[in-house]
Structure 1
Amino acid sequence: MARAGFVLADWSEKWFPDAYIFAIIAVVIVGLAALFMGRTPIQIGVDFGSHFWDLVPFAMQMAFVVISGYVVATSKPVNRLIVKLSAIPKTPKTAVAFVAFFAMVASLLSWGFSLIFSGILIREVSKRVKGVDYRAIGAAGYLGLGSIWALGLSSAPALLMTTKSSIPTSLYKISGTIPLTETIFTWQNLVMIIVLIVMSVTICYYSTPNADKAKTAEMAGINYGEGEDTKERTKAEKPGEWLEYSPILTFVIVSIGIVYVFNVINTKGPIAALDLNTYNFIFLMLGMLLHWTPRSFLNAAAKAIPATGGVLIQFPIYAGIFGVLMGSGLTELLMKFFLSISTQNTFPAIVGIYSAILGLFLPSGGGKFVVEAPYLLEAAKHLHVGLGWVVQVYNAAEALPNFINPFWMLPLMGIMGVKARDLAGFSILQLVFHLPVVIFMVWILAKTVPYIPAIF
């Protein structure tokens, strides 16, 4: 099975275009469908352009998930923690399983944090444990994005649906707001998280080659030795730089931030307060505190910004697709299609399969959700399926194509110095197990979820 994964990885690296190309192909497909529905090219252009900027606030929120996650993961206190953790595993199999576990747990806090944290942990573990297959451990570090990230606190769809100002008006008219108590903070979601972590770590352990058969980083010409990183300056050399290297301003702004967070929690409650804005705010304040000086924080933020390019460019395209779907009546047509092939019993499984397939072409949890949500949630209302559970079905299934689509691998690949094909073989092995288990869980657990009307 591992050999088959390598063949598929080679094929995808040769034939799969950039994620941006997938988004443009989606525009063409939706545009052609709109023409078939009777829209003129001018009307399609107006629909696309008039909605193009609808997701700017949401795109910025997603960009800050990346930035804040990177800033926290690269701070000195977190780096010291990573060094201590890296001394725990002693064999190649335990090292890969160890990285997989922490990658998945970290992704529950932030998918952006998970990628950077895992990449640094892999580097440190590879220095200490001899005979670790760099492909197996790299795929393990990516497991958070391929499995459970969207079931955690940085779930873009779940957080989007709690924030009225971030929900497109047309979607809000269908769903209203959906609190986190109906999505990520449910016992059904916890069951999925536990099952997927146990299964993934077990697969990592048993699929990792022994030291005598492993292809190590050294064999691939990758150097994780000491002294690779350029040391940053820690002291001011000019009077004008003094505040940049002093913690005084950090202390002031973080103190103000703490006051705000406590006020939001006291006013709304700890769960209702956790929308995208509050989540990003907390992570950003934590990053400032952990870096201690403004200069260290700014250096880390500057290194994180290139990783946000795909988000900033592609999210407006997703908003344009949403506009064409709404303007052409395709959302209503798709809603009727799902109603025609679904029952209350089968709807969750059908949504899961559909979302996983579409994720190959629109590799963005938040952006793709805005495209899918109008017709999926409208169909769910007709079938009396819990709207919050539909969001979680989407979350669980949307992560599956990440195992083979290289878009979200980029930050991890940059730290490890590898290519997508190096990780894809073992990732596809995980997908073989994840796909049936995820679809079964979203179907069977749906039977325990009550239908709650939309909240406006």
Structure 2
Amino acid sequence: MDKSKQVNLSPTFVVALLLSLIVFLSAVIFTQPDSSLDLLYAFDVLKFWQKGFWELLEFTLQMVLILGISDFFQTPQSLGFIDLNYVNFMLLGAGLLAYQSLTSFIKSVTIALSGSVEIILQFPFYAGILGMMKYSGLLSIFSESMVNISSPETFPLLSFLSAAMVNFFIPSGGGQWAIQGPIIMDAANQLGLNQAKMVMVFSYGDQLSNMLQPFWALPLLAITGVPAKEILKYTAYFFLIGLLVFGLGIYFLF
């Protein structure tokens, strides 16, 4: 094969594939309905992957809808006919009207997508990871195990570390909070901890591991042409400093 025609996978895409494989195998091994290893359960886990993708896609579109045209919905008239498909149709129509030419519209979309190819390709994998961790119960098992070994003094720090660890697999703050948040809040309530502070603990952990999880930087990397390993040489230092500062602050002040 001509080497000039070979397409190498980007390191960030390889990371997404490896994380998907790790979560898939972990879900199959640790969340079996019974003690026996049922290979058919692996197909159920794959269904969780598919379910997670469509759920996160729907959630993303809903957030765009709420943030973008929330004022429009504050009218007394019934707008029940407007759904996500209707919104997508309106956005497509608005784009075509703005360019007034199908050819120029296609060219502009092609240029714009060149900076978001990595996100388009990796989004289904991370959404699928969310689905597998959520519907297999893997994330609940992990979070509850952290709760079981915690005390009121150590729970904030362990919640911080667990949020940072889970964020490697689910680099979506909202998606991660939807699953892990209720477990943390329930445990904080039982331990008599301040729930507002626990929300901040979760947020600190979620943001900390972004320094090592390159998904957030994919648009920037695509535009600048800088490989992920180049920024990790710098963000790794911020990760270590943040781990030290936030870890000590949470342990002694929370």
Corresponding residue number in structure 2 for 1:321: 133
Q: RMSD across aligned C-alpha pairs, in angstroms?
A: 4.2
- In the alignment, the residues of structure 1 paired with residue 124 and residue 23 of structure 2 have an alpha-carbon distance, to the nearest angstrom, of 17
Corresponding residue number in structure 1 for 2:81: none
Give the conservation status (yes or no) of the 8 Å contact 1:34–1:44: no
Q: CA deviation at 1:48?
A: 5.3
Matches within 5 A, 1:36-185: 38=35, 40-41=37-38, 42-43=40-41, 45-46=43-44, 49=47, 52-53=50-51, 56-62=54-60
The alignment partner of 1:399 has SS state of: helix
Give the conservation status (yes or no) of the 8 Å contact 1:360–1:401: yes
Corresponding residue number in structure 2 for 1:312: 124
Q: CA deviation at 1:345?
A: 2.8
Give the conservation status (yes or no) of the 8 Å contact 1:359–1:368: yes
TM, length-normalised to structure 1: 0.39
The alignment partner of 1:344 has SS state of: coil
Structure with the higher fraction of residues in helix conformation: 2
Q: CA deviation at 1:370?
A: 4.6
The alignment partner of 2:51 has SS state of: coil
Gaps of 5+ in 1: 1-12, 69-153, 155-253, 265-276, 447-456
Give the conservation status (yes or no) of the 8 Å contact 2:12–2:214: no
Gaps of 5+ in 2: 1-9, 77-83
Corresponding residue number in structure 2 for 1:358: 166
- In the alignment, the residues of structure 1 paired with residue 187 and residue 70 of structure 2 have an alpha-carbon distance, to the nearest angstrom, of 42
The alignment partner of 1:30 has SS state of: helix
Q: CA deviation at 1:411?
A: 0.8
Q: CA deviation at 1:433?
A: 1.6
Corresponding residue number in structure 2 for 1:331: 140
- In the alignment, the residues of structure 1 paired with residue 44 and residue 75 of structure 2 have an alpha-carbon distance, to the nearest angstrom, of 42
Aligned identity (percent) is 18
Aligned residues: 221
Give the conservation status (yes or no) of the 8 Å contact 1:380–1:390: yes
Q: CA deviation at 1:393?
A: 2.0
The superposition leaves residues 6-55 of structure 1 with CA deviations (integer Å, 9 ceiling, x where unpaired) of: xxxxxxx9899322321221121232112496265234543652674256
Corresponding residue number in structure 2 for 1:407: 215
Using CA pairs under 8 Å that are at least 6 residues apart, name the structure with larger relative contact order, 1 or 2.
1
Matches within 5 A, 1:242-261: 257=69, 259-260=71-72
Structure 1 residues 352 and 300, CA, compared in 2 at 3 Å: closer, same or farther? farther
Query: Which segment is superposed worse, 304-313 or 432-441?
Result: 304-313
- In the alignment, the residues of structure 2 paired with residue 311 and residue 351 of structure 1 have an alpha-carbon distance, to the nearest angstrom, of 26
Match of 2:98 among 271, 279, 293: 293
TM, length-normalised to structure 2: 0.65
- In the alignment, the residues of structure 1 paired with residue 49 and residue 229 of structure 2 have an alpha-carbon distance, to the nearest angstrom, of 36
Bigger radius of gyration among the two: 1
Which residue identity does 2:234 align to in structure 1?
Answer: F
- In the alignment, the residues of structure 2 paired with residue 416 and residue 51 of structure 1 have an alpha-carbon distance, to the nearest angstrom, of 32
Corresponding residue number in structure 2 for 1:21: 18
Corresponding residue number in structure 1 for 2:243: 435
Corresponding residue number in structure 2 for 1:390: 198
Structure 1 residues 353 and 262, CA, compared in 2 at 3 Å: closer, same or farther? same
- In the alignment, the residues of structure 2 paired with residue 347 and residue 262 of structure 1 have an alpha-carbon distance, to the nearest angstrom, of 41
The alignment partner of 1:345 has SS state of: coil
Give the conservation status (yes or no) of the 8 Å contact 1:26–1:362: no
